[in-house]
Amino acid sequence: MAETRFIHGFHAVAAKLKHDPDAILELHVAAQRGDARARDLLSKAEAAGVRIMPTDTARLDGMAGTSRHQGVVAKIDPRHKVLHLSDLLEDLTENALFLVLDGIQDPHNLGACLRVADAAGVHAVIAPKDRAVGLNATAMKVASGAADTVPYIVVTNLARTLRELQDAGVWCVGAAGEATKTIYEIDQKVPTAWVLGAEGDGLRRLTRETCDELAKIPMLGSVESLNVSVASGLCLFEARRQRAG
């Protein structure tokens, strides 16, 4: 059997309960969590037949590998990975923010992108099944837990997925050095999906053509491009800056 893993935090556990409850082997909850949010989560877990275990804080810290687990840790079977974009879009209660990765083949870059996505509060990272590295052990290690907190959605046709996002009212912005506008000149307060390609190669032609708009990161030095995780961070946190303002 594949090694079990832990996910933590209300967002990650609630999403797993909704979309893939059979993957949850045990739900560990801090004994002192008796608030409405915890009661709602426990009610859903009970309805799904999930085993619930009151657990002390020290053990929760050990399972999650951090103290920032909100008193909720789920032990999961990693062989189960079921998540659909349509379900995620239906569940959103705020303007969407997605990171779409086109052709990232270095697992270290993917892991770093997941960490950035987690820090920016991205609702999901989307990547194609083909011509991409996939969420392997190296990517998960570099992600430092973000692979369990950020939904990672693998799709068979990236252009079709972008059109699905557009049909749902999400503005798809491709990062491209040849763009005329900078990331600071576009409105990111609307539902937004940032689409980035690998360093050097950039976006594939069809991906670029399917985007609603292209934007560039202003480069003031001698280098021509940035690592994709760095570029992702700049784009996503500009979205957060605009939304906070």
Tokens 């657990």 correspond to what residue?
A: 55
Task: Delineate the domains of the chain, giving CATH numbers in brackets.
Answer: 5-76 (3.30.1330.30), 85-244 (3.40.1280.10)
> pLDDT tens for residues 139-198?
877 887 777 778 888 899 999 999 999 999 999 999 999 999 999 999 999 999 999 998
Provide the whole-model pTM. 0.71
> pLDDT tens for residues 45-97?
999 999 999 999 999 999 888 888 899 999 988 655 556 788 788 878 889 99
Q: Helix, strand, or coil here: 57?
A: helix
Tokens 């349509």 correspond to what residue?
A: 86
CB 118: neighbour CB atoms within 10 A?
20
Query: How is residue 3 annotated by DSSP?
Result: P
